[in-house]
């Protein structure tokens, strides 16, 4: 039975853990969603009572909300509440502010002389899209937790919900702990100059209405402190790298490196369906060495330079021609954002050019497989010789962690120094600058010619590192920190104050 001292954890994220498909009158099929965040948070309901608040994504999600009259429902053990913002507001929030603007700022993807332009549409989408949708989330959370006699910890996830702390304080005051987690990199102050002051200041000061803010790495946390100090008048860090004081609140900036659900991944790879996927892939690869990449179609993942480096490898080291297979499993995402659909076209063209240059009747150097198939991705990770993870910037990169866990070939991880995973896995990976195409091609050569003993030594260490830090630790560490703060507050308020002399 739940004790009233047990906390209620509220996760708020743009995308929820499930999507719904209407199959009949009042009947819905449940599908577990895609993406890193869902993978990571799906284990969280094991220890604490959790309420997950997310937005509808599809028409059938909306029907599901309507059918349940907007009330919390228990779905596969998780209490779920979906908010259903107005489609125009959602469009501005998601397709104008969150994905093209904030994601691009935080991954520093600009072509600065040309882009971005902060247009009337941007301003309007901030006022009429991003802010109202964040407010809807806060109201839905307030409605669900109001009157609870238990400690409430609200954890807004990622760059979609930077204004949520502000609206949550408006709704619930100091009754709740607010602890956002930011999955993507937080760059230093310079990157944020792109936002107009009227957007930048509310965004940063909203985050500082939290009790603490979680990041993937110490570097992100430090950059956040620096950004707030630089732009917010009256913000002080007093020489600390992991906390900032602003308007009477001391806000911690902490690193909680995310990981994967080790058991779930291991179980999935052992399943028959995954073995079937693996067999199919092995038919494509044959006895060649496999260079694998698995990403969303996403400019920050740096597919193009990956292919350029492969081309350089084939050019400079002809001995590998015909003996190596590059397989890219790409999941289309955000195709409504022009930069993404253009990017996919460029990636396909680059791969096509390599094939046009080097293929023969027996060998096609690059295979691109587009589509959403997580099982196939895991199957491919079992059989790579090289896993290429070369993002320009990446909060963590779960593919790197899954790959080293399930791989059966003592495969080599080639890892960008700008992926959050670098801090945990870099020592036993071959690390590269994502911009250095020649350096990457030489790393591919080094990996292809590495001795079996060396491969095994590195692979074992990488696997151990991932197994030692499951996603549950990531989640519990955040909750424990919030609980610790709550307990110290309780102690303070129950200690009788010393009468003044």
Residue 53 CA: distances (Å) to CA of 15, 27, 88, 194, 408: 9, 21, 20, 30, 38
Q: Give Cβ neighbours of residue 127 (< 8 Å, ≥ 6 apart).
A: none
Nearer to ligand GDG, 81 or 183 (CB): 183
Find the angle CA(424)-CA(427)-CA(430) to the nearest 5 degrees: 115
Q: Please report how close the Cβ of residue 11 comes to ligand GDG at its closest, in angstroms.
A: 13
Rounded Cα gap, residues 280 and 376, in angstroms: 9
CA 381 to mean position of chain CA atoms: 19
Q: Which one of residues 380, 388, 399, 405 is an interface residue with ligand GDG (CB under 6 A)?
A: 399
Q: How far apart are CA 120 and CA 259, in angstroms?
A: 39
Interacting positions 296-315 with ligand GDG (CB under 6 A): 296
Enumerate residues 171-200 that contact ligand GDG by CB under 6 A: 183-184
Question: Which residue from 7, 16, 17, 36 is in contact with ligand GDG, where contact means CB under 6 A?
Answer: 36
Site string for ligand GDG, 401-420 (x = CB under 6 A): -x------------------
Q: In Å, how far are 64, 104, 113, 199 from 195, measured between CA atoms?
A: 37, 11, 16, 6
* Residue (of 51, 53, 48) closest to 5 by Cα position: 48
Out of 132, 395, 411, 434, the residue judged to bind ligand GDG by CB under 6 A: 395
* Integer-rounded Cα radius of gyration of the chain: 24
SS3 readout for 130-171: HHHHHHHHHHHHHHHHCCCCCCEEEEEECHHHCCHHHHHHHH
Shortest Å, Cβ 83 to ligand GDG = 21
| 377 is a site residue for ligand GDG (CB under 6 A) | yes
Total residues at interface with ligand GDG (CB under 6 A): 23
35 binds ligand GDG (CB under 6 A): yes
CB of 299 to ligand GDG, least distance (A): 11
What is the per-residue binding string for ligand GDG in 330-369, x denoting contact by CB under 6 A?
-x--------------------------------------
Between 34 and 486, whose beta carbon lies closer to ligand GDG?
Answer: 34
Residue 329 Cβ vs ligand GDG, minimum distance, rounded to whole Å? 6
Instruction: Compare residues 195 and 392 and give the one whose CB is closer to ligand GDG.
Output: 392
Element holding 289 (H helix, E strand): strand 289-296
Q: Go through 203-227 and write b for each residue having 16 or more CB atoms within 10 A of its CB, e for each that does not.
A: bbbbbbbbbbbbbbbebbbbbbbbb
Only segment of 162-170, 307-315, 334-342, 395-403 that touches ligand GDG (CB under 6 A): 395-403
Tokens read off for 409: 């070939």
- The per-residue b/e assignment along 360-371, b for 16 or more CB within 10 angstroms, e otherwise, is eeeeebbebbee
Name which position in 10, 37, 281, 462 contacts ligand GDG (CB under 6 A).
37
Binding mask 220-259 for ligand GDG (x = CB under 6 A): --------------------------------------x-
The enclosing H or E element of 219 equals: helix 218-231
Least distance CB 260 / ligand GDG (angstroms): 7
Tell how far CA 424 is from the center of its chain.
Answer: 16
Contacts of 149 (CB under 8 A, 6+ apart): 4
Q: Which residue, 42 or 177, is less far from ligand GDG as judged by CB?
A: 42
Q: Please state, in angstroms and rounded to a whole number, the distance separating the CA atoms of residues 17 and 124.
A: 30
Question: Binding segment for ligand GDG among 23-31, 37-45, 79-87, 161-169 (CB under 6 A)?
Answer: 37-45
- Decide: is 159 part of the binding site for ligand GDG (CB under 6 A): no
Indicate which single residue of 12, 40, 80, 413 sits in contact with ligand GDG (rule: CB under 6 A).
40
Of 333 and 359, CB closest to ligand GDG: 333
- Residue 141 binds to ligand GDG (criterion: CB under 6 A): no
Q: How far is CA 200 from CA 37, 102, 235, 274, 316, in A?
A: 25, 11, 14, 46, 47
DSSP element (H, E) containing 263: helix 262-270
Q: Shortest gap between Cβ of 343 and ligand GDG (angstroms)? A: 14
Near ligand GDG by CB under 6 A: residue from 294, 386, 432, 471: 294
Cβ 403 to ligand GDG shortest distance, Å: 8
Closest to 280 in 3D by CA, of 404, 382, 376: 376
393 contacts ligand GDG (rule: CB under 6 A): no
Report, in Å, the least distance between residue 258 CB and ligand GDG.
4
Calculate helix-pair angle for 303-316, 437-448, nearest 10 degrees: 60
Q: Which is nearer to ligand GDG, 163 or 182 (CB)?
A: 182
> Is-cis flag, bond preceding 475, omega within 30?
no
| Site of interaction with ligand GDG (CB under 6 A) | 34-37, 39-40, 183-184, 258, 294, 296, 331, 372-374, 377, 394-399, 402
């Amino acid at each position: 039975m739940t004790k009233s001292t047990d906390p209620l954890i509220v996760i708020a994220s743009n995308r929820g853990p499930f999507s719904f498909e209407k199959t009949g009158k009042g009947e819905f099929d449940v599908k577990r969603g895609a993406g890193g965040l869902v993978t990571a948070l799906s284990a969280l309901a094991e220890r604490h009572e959790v309420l997950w608040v997310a937005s509808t994504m599809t028409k059938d999600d909306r029907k599901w909300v309507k059918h349940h009259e907007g009330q919390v429902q228990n779905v596969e053990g998780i209490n779920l509440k979906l908010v259903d913002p107005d489609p125009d507001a959602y469009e501005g929030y998601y397709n104008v502010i969150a994905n093209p603007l904030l994601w691009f700022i935080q991954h520093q993807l600009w072509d600065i002389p040309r882009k971005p332009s902060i247009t009337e549409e941007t301003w309007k989408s901030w006022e009429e899209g991003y802010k109202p949708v964040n407010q809807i989330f806060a109201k839905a959370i307030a409605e669900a937790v109001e009157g609870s006699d238990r400690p409430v910890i609200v954890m807004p996830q990622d760059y979609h919900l930077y204004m949520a702390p502000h609206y949550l304080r408006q709704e619930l005051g100091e009754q709740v702990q607010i602890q956002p987690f930011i999955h993507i990199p937080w760059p230093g102050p310079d990157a944020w100059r792109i936002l107009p002051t009227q957007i930048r200041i509310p965004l940063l000061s909203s985050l500082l209405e939290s009790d603490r803010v979680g990041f993937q790495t110490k570097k992100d946390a430090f950059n956040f402190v620096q950004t707030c100090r630089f732009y917010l008048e009256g913000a002080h860090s007093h020489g600390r790298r992991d906390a900032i004081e602003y308007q009477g609140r001391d806000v911690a900036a902490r690193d909680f490196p995310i990981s994967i659900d080790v058991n779930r991944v291991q179980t999935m790879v052992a399943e028959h369906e995954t073995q079937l996927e693996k067999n199919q892939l092995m038919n494509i690869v044959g006895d060649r060495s496999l260079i694998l990449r698995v990403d969303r179609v996403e400019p920050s993942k740096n597919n193009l330079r990956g292919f350029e480096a492969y081309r350089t490898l084939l050019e400079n080291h002809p001995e590998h021609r015909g003996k190596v297979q590059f397989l890219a499993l790409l999941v289309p995402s955000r195709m409504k954002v022009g930069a993404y659909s253009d990017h996919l076209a460029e990636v396909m063209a680059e791969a096509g050019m390599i094939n046009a240059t080097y293929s023969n009747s027996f060998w096609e150097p690059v295979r691109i497989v587009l589509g959403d198939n997580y099982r196939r991705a895991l199957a491919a990770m079992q059989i790579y010789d090289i896993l290429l993870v070369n993002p320009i910037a990446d909060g963590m990169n779960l593919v790197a962690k899954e790959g080293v866990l399930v791989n059966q070939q003592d495969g080599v991880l080639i890892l960008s120094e700008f992926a959050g995973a670098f801090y945990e896995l870099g020592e036993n990976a071959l690390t590269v600058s994502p911009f250095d195409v020649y350096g990457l091609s030489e790393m591919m050569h080094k990996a292809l010619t590495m001795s079996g003993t060396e491969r095994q030594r590195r692979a074992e260490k990488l696997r151990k590192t991932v197994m030692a830090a499951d996603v549950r630790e990531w989640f519990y560490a955040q909750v424990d920190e919030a609980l610790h703060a709550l307990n110290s507050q309780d102690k303070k308020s129950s200690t009788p104050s010393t009468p003044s002399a």
